[in-house]
Amino acid sequence: MDTFFKWGFFHNLWKHDVAHFNSLLLQRWNELAATILSADSLNRRLDSYAALFEESGAWQREKAKWNNNPVPLNLQEELQYVKDWYAENLSALHHAINQLTGISSPQAEEKEPALYLLNGQRTDRIWGRQLLIGKNRKTILRP
């Protein structure tokens, strides 16, 4: 997961926690993981697809096509395999996102007002005259 944020725009957002990016990422992940990306939601979707697969005759066509396959074809076993795989990977992804953000609660912590350079880098000191963007989104020119 760390390699996803290794380069570019997302790296700067994550590394410097611009505008509480890490908290917002965790919050959005938790929203999706509890709803449309939850194991229960996916399982219902997979069950629906499997029923459609059988009712439409597609499963019988697949079995006929792959009849010489040395691995026996069993739709319910395949369905359970995919459900188990997703549940395991969902848990791993949740753990990785919690580790990546370094926080376990989606609530943003109040911090000192942050200053960011125009390239998005967070700063706490000024070198010469630099244009900064403060927490209130106002541009500041510091000597």
What's the one-letter identity of residue 68?
Answer: N
Let me know: does 120 contact 12? Beta carbons within 8 Å: yes
Distance CA 142, CA 127 (A): 9
Structural element, H or E, at residue 130? strand 130-133
In the DSSP assignment, the letter for residue 72 is P
pLDDT at 113: 56
Inter-residue contact 1 to 22 (CB < 8 Å) = no
> pLDDT tens-digit profile of 103-134?
655 554 555 556 666 666 666 665 555 555 45
Residues 46-93 pLDDT 10s: 999 999 999 999 988 888 888 777 777 788 998 999 999 998 888 888
Q: Please answer whether residues 29 and 100 qualify as being in contact, where contact means their C-beta atoms are separated by less than 8 angstroms.
A: no
- Average pLDDT on 38-42 reads 92
Write down the pLDDT at residue 26. 85
Max mean pLDDT among 6-10, 97-101, 116-120, 129-133 falls in 97-101
143 pLDDT band (50/70/90 cuts)?
A: very low
Which residues on adjacent β-strands are paired with residue 76? none
